[in-house]
Structure 1
């Protein structure tokens, strides 16, 4: 029998992407957790991507994907190197984070009965994967990890995956000093903050924040002016969005009300109100971190965020994606009812930490790896 804490495993994480969002941060967290307890970790990624840079810092071995990442059945043969890696390094666990790479991996592993296949997905699936060829491949997956239990119905419906094969893992956020003050000392302004991921090249979603800031600073009913802090872990001079953002700031005459920051540690970022503007995932890990820090948060409205709003006692406000007018209204409501929102953040902290905190997350990750490895050993031996 496999004991995940005693028997060393060879683990391959697969995510060839230039993105740098919640999913990539989850992959890094998973790989570092397994490396810390002595396993051999390999990351299959793109050269010079966010994952590659962060893996170098963590001392994790990277294997680079070459060629297109837009895969069709007829070009799976181009992934012969990936298949060779699994055989050469005698991989025991494959954990995939990209849906288009899941299908060839499931095919490659059909005859490797002792290798477990896991998949993490953090977005709502829109396409249906119910054709007979997908059923065979889905059957090869041991377990699908989702960060929010509200996503179960979507995965079950669109991919025809049995609910027993879907596990709500939470986001696994690190510990936070709950006693620390995470707001700015400048009390003559209300400070808004948002995060720009490295891979973003479109300004439209971020423009919503700037338009709302402009309107908020024209509102005579509010006692203070607003300042927006835009954070990124990439140097702004090298960010493709830097000049377009500055042009938009000049258009709204907000030069004195927007500040750019380069920050590696999101856990130290401060704000009076946190704004999440992206719709690529149900909710970003940074938005949940803000709530844990006691910072009221505004996020785009979807099924997941509406349910979180209900469960966590109104500690976050939701607005329609891309609607600057509604975002302005929700920020205004947070300001006018600030005490209520802060109390809601405080009241939801324990429940939120239990579901998304690192302590339970890492224990369950280890035990699920162990469980499915042993399940395969019993069945195929």
Structure 2
């Protein structure tokens, strides 16, 4: 077993949580897990990370010098069945060796792995985070024991509760809707209504992932903003945000080359940031390109009172029904709808921002007084307590 262990953590009195973060993805789930791990370190929780070597999350942890226990698996996710069976015993050994008190997975790919590993540890609760619609039914007879082993599940979109109930028969009472953490003590994110001047140019912000291979999304956005600039009287500036810790230098150079032809129509700026909290205090409008059910940066932008323009997906449609002033939605690759809806926001920017600041019907339930990370820690503590009670009853 390959592990990087800090000796100070091994004697910590906090709860030991095993985070299963395998894979080479980098999206809302990975960023929110990183925010959670940073928060948990401050509150005394001991995070034990089971992740792939040189994955984006592994690199992000290394650049932040986050002091945590890291364990690298022996086999890749796409290995043979013999390798997967070996992983079952391997994970069970890790749970015993590190005295794990709770397992938190972030993908359904780990469902069977955790289900088998926890057979010998009935006192350890199992929590899973999901941020995508489940298209494959998990109600088959041979999957039911693994689904039943899930104590609680976490989603970032309340609309997923019905989907999970339909495909997995996990009751919504087991679910907890947690939205991305809105603040950080080192963050440059502030309430946009107090920071940005509306008298000069209009600044549009967008995020391009470091692992992006298809540039159709950015190209369509550039084309829409070019048309938008022709319709607007005020000058436009596009700030393209990239993660300074994960984005390779050659990709940044490619972005500069790719955006150079569009720079004749409007100002373009490639900005590096910490990868977790874009500086929303510097922008007027957030342009979402992500294909995820709901993007964490979009929600953080709304918390900063910055309207968004996002793909027409079920989660954003639901948000817009509750609060029409969140921004506008567009059909992917439809340049005409993109620029026309962006024009609506830019032409009435003050109205959007003021209504976002005044209307709390959406945001008070989302960011309650406890804060998302406190609610997650309470979920951990409750799960551990209930598992202990359940095992005590079985012993009697």
Distance 2:67 2:197 in 1: 35
Aligned residues: 372
Over the aligned positions, Cα root-mean-square deviation in angstroms equals 2.6
2:351 to 337, 340, 343: 340
Structure 1 CA distance for aligned equivalents of residues 136 and 250 of structure 2: 31
CA distance in 2 between partners of 1:179 and 1:196 (Å): 21
Distance in 1, matches of 2:35 and 2:315, equals 23
Contact preservation (8 Å) 1:32, 1:58: yes
Structure 1 distance, partners of 2:196, 2:157, is 28
Among 194, 205, 218, the alignment partner of 1:206 is: 218
CA contact 2:60–2:245 (8 Å) conserved in 1: no
Determine whether 1:292 maps to 2:303. yes
Write out per-residue CA displacement over residues 138-162 of structure 1, whole angstroms, 9 at most, x where no aligned residue: 0011111001212111111122222
Give the direction of change, closer, same or farther, for the CA distance of 1:78–1:246 in structure 2 (3 Å limit): farther
Task: State the alpha-carbon separation in 1 of the partners of residues 363 and 296 from structure 2.
Answer: 12
- Partner of 1:159 in structure 2? 168
Superposed CA deviations along residues 282-333 of structure 1, whole A, max 9, x for unmatched, are 2211112212222221111111111111212422211113322211111101
- Alignment match, 1:30: 36
The one-character-per-residue Cα deviations of 1:328-372 (angstroms, maximum 9, x if unpaired) are 111101012222211221124574154136833223212221212
Residue of structure 2 in register with 1:226 after alignment: 236
Q: Determine if contact 1:10/1:39 at 8 Å carries over to the other structure.
A: yes
Partner residue, 1:45: 51
Aligned equivalents of 2:318 and 2:305: distance in 1?
Answer: 19
Query: For residues 174 and 247 of structure 2, what CA distance do their matches in structure 1 show?
Result: 45
Q: Whole-Å Cα distance in 2 between the matches of residues 361 and 161 of structure 1?
A: 22
Please say if residues 56 and 246 of structure 2, whose CA atoms lie closer than 8 Å, have aligned partners that are also in contact.
no
1:76 Cα shift? 1.6
Query: Quick check: 1:196 aligned with 2:208?
Result: yes
Matched, 1:362 2:373: yes
Match of 2:118 among 102, 109, 118: 109
User: In structure 2, the residue corresponding to 1:132 is in which secondary structure?
Assistant: coil
Deviation string, structure 1 residues 87-144 (Cα, Å, up to 9, x no partner): 2112110000122122211221123111111000111222222211111100011111
Aligned to 2:285: 273
| Aligned-partner Cα distance in 2 for 1:196–1:357 | 29
Quick one: structure 1 residues 240 and 23, their matched pair in 2 at CA, closer, same or farther if it must change by over 3 Å? farther
TM-fit CA distance, 1:74: 5.6
Change (3 A) 1:288 1:372: same
The 3 A distance-change label for structure 1 pair 183 and 18 is: farther
Gap regions ≥5 residues in structure 2: 1-11
* Aligned counterpart for 1:378 among listed residues 375, 379, 389: 389
Q: Which moved more, 1:147-156 or 1:343-352?
A: 343-352
Return 5+ residue gaps in structure 1 as ranges.
1-5
Q: Secondary structure at the match of 1:13?
A: strand
C-alpha contact (below 8 Å) 2:229/2:265 kept by paired residues? no
2: CA distance, partners of 1:173 / 1:333: 26
Instruction: Tell me how far apart the structure 1 counterparts of residues 22 and 197 of structure 2 sit (CA, whole Å).
Output: 38
1:205 deviates by 1.8
1:318 aligns with 2:320: no
Match of 2:21 in 1: 15
Q: 1:325 to 1:68 in 2, by over 3 A?
A: farther
After TM superposition, list the pairs within 5 Å mapping 1:69-88 onto structure 2: 69-70=77-78, 75-79=83-87, 80-88=89-97
How far is the alpha carbon of 1:197 from its aligned partner? 2.4
When normalised by structure 2's length, the TM-score is 0.85
Residues 229-248 of structure 1: per-residue CA shift (max 9 Å, x gap):
10112369825644553444
Greater shift, 48-57 or 203-212, is seen at: 48-57
Quick one: distance in 1 between partners of 2:367 and 2:127?
Answer: 19
Name which of structure 1's ranges 46-55 and 154-163 shifts more when overlaid on structure 2.
46-55
Q: In the alignment, what sits opposite 1:92? A: 101
* CA–CA separation in structure 2 for the residues paired with 1:107 and 1:284: 32
- TM-score of the superposed pair, with normalisation by structure 1: 0.88
Contact 2:191-2:304 at 8 Å conserved across structures: yes
